[in-house]
Amino acid sequence: MRLEGVLPFARTLLRSFCKPGDFVIDATCGNGNDTLYLSNLVGENGHVFAFDIQEQAIQNSKKRMINHHADQNVTFYHASHDELMEQLPSDLKSKVSAAIFNLGYLPGSDKSITTTGSSTISAIEQLLQLLKPEGVIILVIYHGHEEGKREKEEVMKYVKQLDQKQAHVLQYEFINQKNDPPFVVAIEKRG
């Protein structure tokens, strides 16, 4: 297949928005896959701020960073992504190049602990203040479970009403696949 899958497409977006020296956010660090990817993209002069509400996710991600010698430019926050503004350094406003979310639950863990529409929308609102012009928020939306379906509906309703003078909103998905496949929503802050 030549069409990019959802996760490779999210990484393509990250590559096009991030460069060495940038500040970026992994809003749901999970097992550290995106955290590691971002760490490598922004290099030693950039910085990754990684969030998760589960201590297990933070530990998994830290271990991945250490194993790949990529922990020098990452700060972890055992906190919800809707606490960005109170957790991050105050001088980041309009300086963040990209943020990524993998919504849903931590693979291999308690499936009752999930992201929610209200916390994700709050995080998006905060990120729109933190993003620099032409920065991007990438949401990988997993909606194959009940809370995921609710979150998808709330988030999609919110992003569809964003003022097109302030942000471009893209949806990337395969429309003929079964079992509620994940899809990407990208929000680019206009310059």
The string of pLDDT tens digits covering residues 22-54 is 999 999 999 999 999 999 999 999 999 999 999
Q: How confident is the model at residue 31, as a pLDDT?
A: 95
> Are 134 and 22 spatial neighbours (Cβ–Cβ below 8 Å)?
no
For the chain, give every domain's residue range.
Answer: 6-189
Q: How confident is the model at residue 128, as a pLDDT?
A: 97
Q: How confident is the model at residue 191, as a pLDDT?
A: 84
If you count them, how many residues does the chain have?
191
The architecture in CATH of the region 6-189 reads 3-Layer(aba) Sandwich (3.40)
Sheet of strand 96-102: strand arrangement = 74-78, 47-52, 23-26, 96-102, 131-141, 183-189, 167-172
Q: How confident is the model at residue 108, as a pLDDT?
A: 78
Contacts of residue 7, defined as CB under 8 A and 6 or more positions apart, other chains included, come to: 140, 182
Question: For residue 138, which of 89, 189, 95, 178 has the smallest C-alpha distance?
Answer: 189
User: Beta-carbon neighbour count of residue 111 at 10 Å?
Assistant: 13
Alpha carbon distances (Å) from 129 to 91, 97, 111, 124: 12, 12, 31, 9
167: three-class secondary structure by DSSP = strand
| H/E element, 41 | helix 33-42
> Are 79 and 55 spatial neighbours (Cβ–Cβ below 8 Å)?
no
Q: How confident is the model at residue 105, as a pLDDT?
A: 81
Q: How confident is the model at residue 1, as a pLDDT?
A: 66
pLDDT beneath 70, residues of the chain: 1
